Amino acid sequence: MTVLAMVAPAAQVAGVLLGAPLVAGVMRQVRARLEGRVGAGVAQPWRDLRKHLRKQAMTPSGTTVVFSLAPAVVAGSALLIAAIVPLVTTFSPLDRMADLFAVVGLLLIGTVALALGGLDTGTAFGGMGASRGITIAALAEPTILLSVFALSLPAGSSNLGVIVAATAHDPWTVLSVPGALAFVALLTVIVAETGRLPVDNPSTHLELTMIHEAMELEYAGPRLALMEWASAMRLTVLLALLANLFAPWGIAGAGSGAGGFLLATVLIAAKVAVLALILGGIEVFVAKLRLFRVPELLAGSFVLALLAVTTSSFFASAVG
Amino acid sequence: MTMIRTALRPDTDAAGSEPQASHDARQGHEARSAAAAAWGGAATSLVGLAGVVCGIVALAGRSWSLSLDGLFPMVGVQLELTPLGGLFMLLTGAVAVIVGIYSAGYTRAGHLGGFPLAVMPIFVATMLLVPAAGSVPTFLLMWELMAVSSMMLVLAGHRRAEVRSAGVYYAVLTHLGFMAILLGLLLLSAATGTTRFAEISFAIGDVGHGARTVIFVLTLLGFGSKAGLLPLHAWLPRAHAESPSPASALMSAAMVTLGVYGIVRIDLDILGPGPRWWGLVMLAVGAVSALFGVLQASVATDLKRLLAFSTTENMGLVLVALGAAALLTSSGMRDVAALALAAGLLHLLVHGSFKMLAFLAAGSVQNATGLRDLDRLGGLARRMPVTTALFGVAALGAAGLPVGAGFVSEWLLLQSLIHRPAAGDTLMALTMPLAIGVVALSVGVGVVTMVKAFGVGFLARPRTDEAAHAREAGAPMLLAMALAALVCTVLALVPAALDPALRALGRTLPVPVATLGGVVIGPAGGLGSIAPAVLAAGMASAVILAVALSRIGSRRRPPAQSAAPLWACGADGLTSRMEYTASSFAQPMQRVFRGVLRPEADLSVVRAAGSAYDVEQMAYRERPTDAVEAHLYRPVLRLVRAVAGWVRRAHTGSVQLYLVYGGVGLLIVLVLAR
């Protein structure tokens, strides 16, 4: 058991590394089919990565080490989150090292590295993307932390392993008013943080409307590969976390054997695939919001999170 | 802030084409000023070192007191070491040691005259004596000496109008604050019948509720003005921006925290946690200050002004923690209250370390370029790599991100705010989520601010010639900044090193103080745990793994090309005029929060002669304003002016009339005193 628990973080990192391009591929393929196109196939992001990794590495003039290291920091923060959060087991040795607040902080480190990489190029579009991306991240912060609060209250802990284990023990707690509100708030924030519709359009070719893409315009070759890999990993790990926070069925606990771990791995992959299908399907039907309407969306999700926390407190005090 | 342009030419530049005759005299002068710089810096550092020693002794629990009755007429001077005072002496002393080293190099570059250099050790000494004061008169005396000596440092560059204006703001607001403190402490002494703090603590039980409330409000207002809290904050961005950078570092990292010392000492320690609304008031003042400070910082383009507003934000966060501690104590949740207090005190220390480093780095930039305006900086990473890296450490700390210095204390604060309220406690069930929202928004906007300061000021391409020809700072300045960065890193990775200090405080304060534990920080009363050092190690190995991933297939690649032209969407001939500036970076924030920032816009159109449509020239300016100044200060100033005008009617200039006034006044006094 303990050996399995020790191996679990490494397995999670490997799973996210390998699976992330496929998640991006699923979302693109769903979109293509719903729009009446054949699509490039689920494995296309992997083929793109292979292509980029074989290209020449370029360092644009006037950029510093910040530009060169930014993709590695974005990818590194996503990988560290993948090691920490309970995807396969709630009994990870890393669980006590970081709680949900720390995970949110690691996510912000990735956003900051992306923005600094964009600013370091000194081009107008890099600065523009950095300014927009970081503003949205700042405005999403209150919602995220309040959702954390709402999720920590029933479990009595802000450590992810404990929260997920508590929900796995009593799955109906999430089907409450606070649970639903927190889910919607968290989903909105994930969409904003990973640059999906309606906040940002990942497949846009129009620079003036770009947010995330504008920051990586100057990247090419291996660094671009790492950047795209990293954004797919961010999306994957956040979807997996969302799945396990609200539907942790089948996650391996303290007493699970090798079979339990295997089942948990298959289940989390299936849950992420379903979420990717749903999200990809929804994206077909929404248009990108104007940049200055995004704060309204985030303010709305903040109100939802606030309601989630206060109702959660009231329910708790009514029961307790 | 778009329109604020500050260009301080380094004095050394002015001496470019000097005749040979005065060359020798100049060299002699330079040697003398270098010696003076070394002595001045050493004096500051030594006074600071004494402070560090006293602070450690006090925290170790040695009580020591000294009474010099003959030193000051009637009341004498009483000094006393307490653990709480020791914490602030340790902070002030450590800041002074590092700033002393820095100012030795800073002065040599011709940026600090002999007079401010001589005042600096005195300023540090008074700051060390404020937390050592054992009685009300001594405290007030040291407080005022601290204000006067810092005033002299603010006015170091008094030939410029902005500096004089900053001096006026500082003098007026700090004395308004002093009046409030004076009244509050006099009331406290009168109500308890003694001036010694130790005896006041014993006698405080007899003081009525009304008197306590008045003392609380007055001291919160007065100490809040020193801590840069709203509404008496307006001096801080001006004084911090216009003083020489070593002085800004001393003021922001040490002096401002003494305002918090006053609040902890008088309002939490002596008056006790008090009724619930006291905690709520502190929480509200802290929350408003934090949000206001960080929003102003996010749109500021002057680097030092930005750092100054960030000080207001951080002191606001500390006050949120203190308010939460008071509120939780009165709700009977002493475990959680202990956590909040530990968060507040830790944040004070951490803020001291990263803000000192940030101001010192800003000073190096100003030294090298003569600029503070982010819109005109840029590209410093190549010219000043060490300063850039060190400012990066400070910015990471100020942004409150993991691995940075500010993370653990902000995490502790959040931990103290999330907990299940007692059944039926509606007030707590509503206050705590809102407080979390405030902390989260200030962390988020703080990230925007620091990305702007670092990304626009230090990365990208230089926007002016001054920035393009910057030179790296000298060895003493780099050494001092490296020391400050070391302190930041230690506090970020091993905050539990402060546990002995927190434990010592917990034994003396009426509100308990939590300790942090070992590598894994999971304090009692909190809901979660983190291990900052493990996170840092994990982050480092994850980044290495990512770099390794990007090397997959590198054997098949053509050789790497460095200094390739920027693609820039196909545009050719990019100039630095096309870069995003600090103003443009902050424009979305300014637009989203326009209700709070109230930007002033003005558009001027010059039309071609004889045409209604043909426009010759257009200019558009927008700059954020201080809504508090506009809506609180100006009406008060108008009122004061109106009253003064009304009183002036009695001053006709006729001596006979004045004699009549004097006679009538004397009669009234005699009748009343009969």
- Distance to chain B for A277, nearest Cα, Å: 28
Residue A71 confidence class, pLDDT cut points 50, 70, 90: very high
- Has residue B144 been placed in a domain? yes
- Has residue B152 been placed in a domain? yes
Compute the distance between CA of residue A92 and CA of residue A7 in angstroms, rounded to an integer: 9
- Distance to chain A for B411, nearest Cα, Å: 7
Residue A315 belongs to domain spanning: 2-319
- Please give the interface size between A and B, counted as residue pairs whose CB atoms are below 8 Å apart: 300
Instruction: Check pLDDT > 90 for residue B124.
Output: yes
The answer to whether residues B191 and B338 belong to one domain is no
The answer to whether residues B618 and B633 belong to one domain is no
**Using the beta-carbon criterion (under 8 Å), do A80 and B535 form an inter-chain contact?**
yes
- Has residue B12 been placed in a domain? no
* Range from A128-142, A175-189, B621-635 that averages highest in pLDDT: A128-142
SS (HEC) of B267-310: HHHHCCCCCHHHHHHHHHHHHHHHHHHHHHHHHCCEHHHHHHHH
pLDDT of amino acid B21: 46
**Using the beta-carbon criterion (under 8 Å), do A83 and B565 form an inter-chain contact?**
no
The answer to whether residues B162 and B85 belong to one domain is yes
- Has residue B567 been placed in a domain? no
Count Cβ atoms below 10 Å from residue B185 Cβ, excluding itself: 25
Q: What is the pLDDT of residues B213-270, one digit of tens each?
A: 999 999 999 999 999 998 888 899 999 888 888 999 999 999 999 999 999 999 888 8
The answer to whether residues B527 and B633 belong to one domain is no
Residue B316 belongs to domain spanning: 273-540+580-607+614-625
The answer to whether residues B94 and B139 belong to one domain is yes
Phi–psi pair at B511, nearest 5 degrees: -95, 130
**Using the beta-carbon criterion (under 8 Å), do A123 and B578 form an inter-chain contact?**
yes
Residue B14 confidence class, pLDDT cut points 50, 70, 90: very low
Compute the distance between CA of residue B309 and CA of residue B293 in angstroms, rounded to an integer: 5
The answer to whether residues B136 and B285 belong to one domain is no
Put simply, whether A300 touches B (Cβ < 8 Å) is no
Last residue of a domain, one of B207, B229, B252: B207
Write down the pTM of the prediction.
0.91
Put simply, whether A137 touches B (Cβ < 8 Å) is yes
Compute the distance between CA of residue B112 and CA of residue B153 in angstroms, rounded to an integer: 10
Among A55, A128, A145, beta carbon nearest to B580: A128
- Has residue B50 been placed in a domain? yes
Q: Which amino acid is at B209?
A: H
> B-chain residues within 8 Å CB-CB of A94?
534, 538
- Has residue B391 been placed in a domain? yes
The answer to whether residues B593 and B647 belong to one domain is no
Compute the distance between CA of residue B590 and CA of residue B300 in angstroms, rounded to an integer: 10
Residue of chain B with shortest Cα separation from A124: B579
Instruction: Check pLDDT > 50 for residue B18.
Output: no
The pLDDT mean for chain A works out to 87
Q: What is the pLDDT of residues B637-658, one digit of tens each?
A: 899 999 999 988 888 888 999 9
The answer to whether residues B528 and B621 belong to one domain is yes
Q: How many domains does chain A have?
A: 1
Q: What is the pLDDT of residues B408-461, one digit of tens each?
A: 999 999 998 887 776 667 788 888 888 998 999 999 999 999 999 999 999 988
The answer to whether residues B401 and B294 belong to one domain is yes
- Has residue B386 been placed in a domain? yes
Put simply, whether A100 touches B (Cβ < 8 Å) is yes
Last residue of a domain, one of B207, B233, B251: B207
Residue B398 confidence class, pLDDT cut points 50, 70, 90: very high
Instruction: Check pLDDT > 60 for residue A317.
Output: no
Q: What percent of chain B has pLDDT over 70?
A: 94
Q: Are B106 and B153 in contact (CB under 8 A)?
A: no
pLDDT of amino acid B107: 65
From residue B104, alpha-carbon distances to A297, B117, B312 in Å are 52, 9, 28
Q: How many domains does chain B have?
A: 3
Residue B23 confidence class, pLDDT cut points 50, 70, 90: low
Q: How many residues does chain A have?
A: 320
Instruction: Check pLDDT > 90 for residue A76.
Output: yes
- Has residue B447 been placed in a domain? yes
The count of C-alpha atoms lying within 13 angstroms of the C-alpha of B66, restricted to the half-sphere facing its C-beta, is: 10
The answer to whether residues B601 and B492 belong to one domain is yes
Among A120, A138, A207, beta carbon nearest to B445: A138
Among B381, B461, B589, beta carbon nearest to A135: B589
Residue B6 confidence class, pLDDT cut points 50, 70, 90: very low
Average pLDDT over residues B18-40: 63
The answer to whether residues B293 and B426 belong to one domain is yes
Q: What is the pLDDT of residues B490-536, one digit of tens each?
A: 999 998 888 888 888 888 877 778 878 778 887 777 788 889 999 99
Last residue of a domain, one of B167, B184, B207: B207
Helix/strand/coil for B448: helix
Instruction: Check pLDDT > 50 for residue B91.
Output: yes
Residue B24 confidence class, pLDDT cut points 50, 70, 90: low
The answer to whether residues B116 and B172 belong to one domain is yes
**Using the beta-carbon criterion (under 8 Å), do A134 and B447 form an inter-chain contact?**
yes
**Using the beta-carbon criterion (under 8 Å), do B447 and A112 form an inter-chain contact?**
yes
pLDDT of amino acid A207: 78
Hey, which residues 13-72 in chain A have their CB within 8 Å of chain B? 13, 17, 50, 53-62, 64, 66, 69, 71-72
